[in-house]
A and B are shown apart, each in its own frame.
Chain A
Amino acid sequence: EADIYQTPRYLVIGTGKKITLECSQTMGHDKMYWYQQDPGMELHLIHYSYGVNSTEKGDLSSESTVSRIRTEHFPLTLESARPSHTSQYLCASSIGDLGTQYFGPGTRLLVL
């Protein structure tokens, strides 16, 4: 079973607030990913990291930013939340080049 954690699980916040979604993994994986998923829809990759101090934007443009200062930690930040940011955010990690990704439980964000 994968050990990847996301907090908070649920977040309701007002427009304009700054938020940080936390993601941590204890498996020593070098690669980490953030996906955005609207209800009943597919996953869209918004950020990924191949290691410490390495971050890249994914296929879906996002106003969020990420950082990777420690191997096990990959937080996602929204400087000013808007209702259009309402979604589920899933974090994943993998090791090596074979691509098997392990997912956290997700954070459901509602911006009012």
Chain B
Amino acid sequence: AQSVTQPDIHITVSEGASLELRCNYSYGATPYLFWYVQSPGQGLQLLLKYFSGDTLVQGIKGFEAEFKRSQSSFNLRKPSVHWSDAAEYFCAVRNSGYSTLTFGKGTMLLVSP
């Protein structure tokens, strides 16, 4: 069965600093991977996705993620964090043979002034 691990429960970053959120997945074949963001009291918004091809994918709000098969990772990055980026971030992988997703437990991003 597929699984997703987000090792960091909370991360605090200073405004303007760079950000990297970690995601590791367990999947036998080429995975379909997603990053979502959730602001307090809201649903999830899709940031970016990886299906195939270029391993560096660009998303909305200045985010990017890099797929590394050798490390089973799909880390999310942003060069300069803004206070409005404070939210919870979820990594997800599509389940084999289905359209359902398995989500990680999420990483809460806190942005300090």
Contacts and interface: CB of A to CB of B under 8 A. Distances in A.
Interface of A: 6, 31, 33, 40-43, 45, 48, 50, 58, 90, 92, 94, 96-106, 108
B48 to A, nearest CB: 10
A42 B106 contact: yes
Contacts, number: 58
5 contacts: A43-B103, A48-B100, A90-B44, A92-B43, A99-B34
Nearest to B9: A40
A101 B47 CA distance: 11
B105 A42 contact: yes
- B32, B51, B101, B104 — most chain A CB neighbours (10 Å): B101
Interface of B: 32, 34, 36, 41-46, 49, 51, 88, 90, 94, 99-101, 103-106, 108
Contacts of A98: 32, 51, 94, 99
Given A42-B90, A42-B106, A106 B43 contact: yes
A29 B46 CA distance: 16
A40 B43 CA distance: 13
A45 B100 contact: yes
A99 B32 contact: yes
A41 B101 contact: no
Contacts of A90: 43-44
Nearest to B6: A42
Contact of A108 (B41, B51, B88, B101): B41
B94 A106 contact: no
A61 B42 CA distance: 24
A42 to B, nearest CB: 4
